[in-house]
Amino acid sequence: MDATARHSHRPHGPIADDYTIDQAWERYSPAEHARWDLLHARQVRMLRQRACPEFLQALDRLALSDGGIPHFGRLSERLAARTGWQVVAVPDLVPDPVFFEHLANRRFPAGAFIRGADQLDYLQEPDVFHDVFGHVPMLADPVFADFMQAYGAAGLAAARAGRIDRLARLYWYTVEFGLVRGSRGDDLRIYGAGILSSARESVYALEDPAPRRIGFRADRVMRTRYRIDDLQQVYFVIDDFDQLLDSLQGDREPLYARAAAGPELSPEAVESDDMLHILHAQAAE
């Protein structure tokens, strides 16, 4: 498949000021729906013992597996009934302020196109599998849903102040690549959409000895650079979703000040304050 085929569904209709488009659900081909079903089945199998319970529960409740690429309108009704969030279609990455404005209003902008058959594992652009399978289930959790809205509000303020970089790192290491402690206390579970939508990283993030797994501190995360083109070298582990929400609630100035006070770190770096998680054998599939 070439690049044109990969974006075969990309709708031709008008793009609104807020970058939303018509999902044009009836225009997906049978092959595109079948690709969703394949990716969905494969990831559910991978994630039964690896994703956090909030994600697994929402997969069922939102009926993301009722056959083919979800219809955003019908999905939004189910999601809004739980947490007031909606899913809107966008063509691709949208500019940061537009992205923040959507999140601050409890709208998740999701790519409408689906990855090509030659890119089943990972691609950098947000397609419908990453956005809807990876991100949307977590939005059915009330605490996580509030965190995402708080992130949007923080982003709008940071954009006005010209300092989005540190906030983007927080998003990367939580919403995209976050791990959470499991109910046993010593086991780890996935909640980050970048991992949840990648078969390879789902195993690597929990079971490979190569990356570091460090207890979450928001200012520490904000000092850590990230790469978008490879498996991660570091994951940050939260205790629960309240810890995320708390990091952005109230006055954020002390957080930005703490982040500015310490050194910038590469993804491989370890600091003396870091709480390193030791790998325990995870339950096999």
Q: Which residues bind ligand HBI (CB under 6 A)?
A: 90, 93-94, 96, 99, 109, 126, 164, 168, 171
Please indicate whether residue 198 is annotated as part of the active site.
no
Q: Which candidate in 32, 54, 101, 176 is catalytic?
A: 176
Other beta carbons within 10 Å of 180 = 24
Q: Which candidate in 32, 40, 101, 197 is catalytic?
A: 197
CA distances in angstroms from 84 to 80, 142, 171, listed in the order given: 4, 9, 21
Least separation in angstroms between CB 182 and ligand HBI? 26
**Residues of the shown chain interacting with Fe ion in the complex, contacts defined by CB under 5 A:** 193
For ligand HBI, the closer CB: 99 or 216: 99
Asked if residue 126 lies in contact with residue 114, where contact means CB atoms within 8 angstroms, the answer is no
Q: What are phi and psi of 265, to 5 degrees?
A: -120, 150
Q: Which candidate in 9, 102, 135, 277 is catalytic?
A: 135
Asked if residue 146 lies in contact with residue 167, where contact means CB atoms within 8 angstroms, the answer is no
For Fe ion, the closer CB: 83 or 197: 197
Please indicate whether residue 130 is annotated as part of the active site.
yes
96 interacts with, out of Fe ion, ligand HBI, none, CB within 5 to 8 A per kind:
ligand HBI
For Fe ion, the closer CB: 130 or 223: 130
Least separation in angstroms between CB 228 and ligand HBI? 10
Place of tokens 């209003």: 105
Asked if residue 133 lies in contact with residue 199, where contact means CB atoms within 8 angstroms, the answer is no
For Fe ion, the closer CB: 226 or 282: 226
171 interacts with, out of ligand HBI, Fe ion, none, CB within 5 to 8 A per kind:
ligand HBI
Here the tokens at position 269 are: 């770096």
Least separation in angstroms between CB 201 and Fe ion? 13
Least separation in angstroms between CB 228 and Fe ion? 11
CA distances in angstroms from 242 to 93, 146, 147, 220, 239, listed in the order given: 28, 10, 8, 18, 8
Strands (E), the chain: 86-90, 107-111, 179-181, 188-190, 212-215, 234-238
- Sign for the pseudo-dihedral over CA of 193, 198, 199, 201: negative
Please indicate whether residue 176 is annotated as part of the active site.
yes
70 interacts with, out of Fe ion, ligand HBI, none, CB within 5 to 8 A per kind:
none
Please indicate whether residue 135 is annotated as part of the active site.
yes
CA distances in angstroms from 113 to 36, 40, 127, 171, listed in the order given: 11, 15, 5, 23
For Fe ion, the closer CB: 55 or 256: 55
Here the tokens at position 185 are: 């206390």
Select the residue whose beta carbon is closest to Fe ion and give its number.
193
265 interacts with, out of Fe ion, ligand HBI, none, CB within 5 to 8 A per kind:
none
Q: Which candidate in 130, 201, 202, 247 is catalytic?
A: 130
93 interacts with, out of ligand HBI, Fe ion, none, CB within 5 to 8 A per kind:
ligand HBI
Which residues participate in catalysis according to the annotation? 130, 135, 176, 197
